[in-house]
Amino acid sequence: MLEIHGRWKIKVTDKVLMQWFADSWNEEAIIAYVKEFKAAAAPLMGSDWAIISIFEQWELGVPEIEQHVVEHCEWFKAQGCIKDCHVYRPSAVKEMQLEKMIPHTVGL
């Protein structure tokens, strides 16, 4: 197993889960992040809630993260997340990878 490459911070306030992402991500990072996310989101289960994701310092991820992200999005939608907002300055490459993993048409 490789060392985690990628950073994140998660904070829950009321019915909103705020998260910040930084650096480039490998598969080990997404696995650790998902575990931490699920623990942080546990108090939100059973009601409508939202996610605000700040991608300003995120530098994309290796292709191996993509299936994990798709499964993660399916999980949080099934757990009551009704809105998922991504914040970053215009960036064609960020938009391309995010849209591939999390299409705008996923129903959020």
**Interatomic CA distance for residues 36 and 2, integer angstroms:** 18
Separation of alpha carbons 75 and 88, rounded Å: 23
Q: What angle do CA 6, 69, 2 make, to 5 degrees?
A: 40
Predicted model pTM: 0.89
Express as a percent the part of the chain with pLDDT over 70. Answer: 94
pLDDT in tens, 10-43: 999 999 999 999 999 999 999 999 999 999 999 9
Give the residue among 28, 30, 16 at the shortest CA–CA distance from 71.
30
Closest alpha carbon to 21 in 63, 65, 64: 65
